[in-house]
Structure 1
Amino acid sequence: ACGSASYEIVYPCAWDRIQVEEAALQRVAESDAFIYGSLSTRDEVSRKTLEQLVEQAKFKIFDVNLRPPHYDTGRLLEMMKKADLVKLNDDELYELSKAYGSKHNSIEQNIQFLAKLSGTPRICVTLGSHGAIYFENGEFYRHCGYRVKVADTVGSGDSFLAGLTYKLLNNTPPQEAVSFACALGALVASHHGATPEISLKEVENFMHPA
C-alpha cells in the first residue's frame, strides 16, 4: 500500500554458498561493470567469492538492498569502500548513516557523510515516486520523478539502476543519466512483473511526449 515491498528471505538461497570459478573471474574482468548486493555477503562462502570477483571488476556498483536481518553494517561499509558507485533508497541511507554515527537530518548531508566515510565517488539515492538524487564528485543531480499509475513496484529499483548504469557507461551527462533512470524505473512500476519488455524508444517517448 505504501509502494515498498517487504520480503521473507530464507536460507539457503541461490546466492548462498557460491563457489569461485575461473570462468566467473574472467567474465567479470571482461565486463564493463559488476553489480553486487548485500544479500550475497551473509554467507561466508559467497562472501569470499564476491571479494575475489570485486577485485577483477573495472567498474564496481554496490546495490545495497538491505534485507533484515541478513546484513552486518561493518561488512556493508567495507563493501561500499570497494565500490565506484553505491545505490540505496532513502530509508537505507538514513539507517546506515545513523548506524555509522551521522548526526545529520537531510538526505544531502547524509549522502555527503556516507561518501566521505566510504570514499565512494558516486552515490545514488532513490526516493520512490519522488525520483532520485545522484551525487558524483561533490555535485548533486536530482530528478523529481514521473507520475504513473503503479501496477507493481517490484523490479523498478533494479530497472532504475540498469538505466543509470547504461547511461553512465556511455558517458552521458549525470543529469541526463538520472532522468533516464527515473523514467525507466517509473515505466517498469506501471507494468505488472519485475522485468516487462520496455524499448529505448518507449522511454524516450515517455520522457519527451510529442
Structure 2
Amino acid sequence: MNKVIVGLGEALWDCLPDGSKLGGAPANFAYHASQFGNDAYAISAIGNDALGDQTLKEFDEKHLKYVMPRVDYPTGTVQVELDEEGVPTYDIKQNVAWDNIPFTPEIENIAKHCGCVCFGSLAQRNKISRDTIHRFIDTTPMACLKIFDINLRQNFYSKEIIQDSLKACDILKINDEELVTIGRLFGYPGLDIENKCYLILGKYNLKMLVLTCGTNGSYVFAPGVKSYQPTPKVEVDDTVGAGDSFTGSFASAILAGMPIKEAHKLAVEVSAYVCTQPGAMPKLPEQLLNRVK
C-alpha cells in the first residue's frame, strides 16, 4: 500500500494521573495509520529540551517517521484529568513549540508527495503554525485526501479558522458536542443532527462527514450514503487517543479502496480496542490490521 499519510499539528505530552504519555492528535493519527502499512509521518515542532529529546526517542521506539524541527519554545504539554468513566478534560499550555511549526523544505517535499493529511483547529491557534498547515495543504497533489478533525479545545478556535479549514478539506470529522458549537457559531441551531451534517456536507462540497456521538454511536454521511455504527461496550481504561485511532484506521481503509460502511465498522472496532488500553498509541491486534489490504 505504502501511501504517504501525514498527521500535521500538535505534538505534546499528556500529563495523566499515572504519568506522562506522548500524545497530540496528529501524532496519534499518524501512528495508527502507520500500523496499517502506510508511509506515515507526524509533523510538528519540538523544543530544545529534555521533553523534545524524549519525544523523538518515543517516536523512534514506535518506528513512526516524523519531521520535528527544533524551535526556541518549550515542547508542548497538556494537563489531563480523567473522570470516573475515564473521560479526559484538558489544560493545554500555550506559546509552545507546536504553536511555531516552520514550513521547512523537508516539510514542503513531503507535502508534494502526500496522499492524505489530517489536521485540526487546535494547532491553528497561532498564526505561524496556521500558515504552515495551509501552505502544506496548498502544496499537496490534487488527489490528496484532506481530513479536518476539528478537535475544538478550550477557546482555541474561531469561526474564521473553522470556515477556512472546511473550505480546504475533503472530510470533516466532528463529535456531537462540537456539532452543537458549530451550529451556534454558524447560525443554524434549530436543525436536527442529521440535517446539520447534510447542510455542512453540501455547503462545503465535502466528500464525507464523520460524526461521533460517544456511547451513542457514530455516523458517516456522504452524498447518497449514510452509515451508522453503534459504540461497542468495552471495559474502558482511558479514552485518550481513541478518536485519533478511529480517524487513522478509517483513512487507511478508505485509501485502500474499502467501502465507506466497511471502513466505518473497522474504525469503530479499532477505537473501541484503544479505549481498553492505556494511553493513545497502543499496538493494534493483527486481526484488526489484517482487515485492510
Point out which structure has higher relative CO (alpha carbons under 8 A, 6+ apart): 2
Find the partner of 1:146 among 229, 232, 243.
232
Find the partner of 2:247 among 128, 139, 161.
161
Find the partner of 1:68 among 154, 158, 162.
154
- Are 1:4 and 2:4 counterparts? no
Question: Which residue in the other structure is 1:56 paired with?
Answer: 139
Question: Which residue in the other structure is 1:35 paired with?
Answer: 118
Q: What SS does structure 2 have at the residue aligned with 1:19?
A: coil
Q: What SS does structure 2 have at the residue aligned with 1:165?
A: helix
Q: What SS does structure 1 have at the residue aligned with 2:97?
A: coil
Shift in Å, 1:167: 0.6
- Any unmatched runs of 5+ in structure 1? 206-210
Find the partner of 1:192 among 250, 253, 278.
278
Cα distance in 1 for residues equivalent to 2:231 and 2:268: 6
Find the partner of 2:223 among 124, 137, 143.
137
Identity %, equivalent residues: 28
- Are 1:16 and 2:16 counterparts? no
Find the partner of 1:177 among 255, 258, 263.
263
Shift in Å, 1:158: 0.4
RMSD after superposition: 1.7
> 2:115 is aligned with what amino acid?
D
Cα distance in 1 for residues equivalent to 2:205 and 2:242: 27
Q: 2:125–2:156: 8 Å Cα contact kept in structure 1?
A: yes
> 1:175 is aligned with what amino acid?
K
Shift in Å, 1:54: 0.8
Shift in Å, 1:32: 1.6
Q: Deviations over 1:55-112 (max 9, x none)?
A: 1231111110001211112221111111011111111111102210114342211101
- Are 1:106 and 2:192 counterparts? yes
> 1:21 is aligned with what amino acid?
T
Q: 2:85–2:236: 8 Å Cα contact kept in structure 1?
A: no
Cα distance in 2 for residues equivalent to 1:203 and 1:47: 33
> 1:31 is aligned with what amino acid?
C
Shift in Å, 1:22: 1.5
Cα distance in 2 for residues equivalent to 1:33 and 1:202: 21
- Shift of the 106–3 alpha-carbon distance from structure 1 to 2, 3 Å rule, reads farther
Q: 1:154–1:193: 8 Å Cα contact kept in structure 2?
A: yes
Find the partner of 1:81 among 167, 181, 206.
167
Find the partner of 2:109 among 17, 20, 26.
26
Cα distance in 1 for residues equivalent to 2:96 and 2:202: 34
Q: 2:270–2:288: 8 Å Cα contact kept in structure 1?
A: no
TM-score by length of 1: 0.91
Shift in Å, 1:204: 7.0
Q: 1:102–1:113: 8 Å Cα contact kept in structure 2?
A: no
Cα distance in 2 for residues equivalent to 1:94 and 1:103: 7
Shift in Å, 1:121: 2.3
Cα distance in 2 for residues equivalent to 1:104 and 1:178: 28
Q: What SS does structure 1 have at the residue aligned with 2:90?
A: coil
- Any unmatched runs of 5+ in structure 2? 1-83
Cα distance in 2 for residues equivalent to 1:153 and 1:97: 25
TM-score by length of 2: 0.66
Q: 1:180–1:203: 8 Å Cα contact kept in structure 2?
A: no
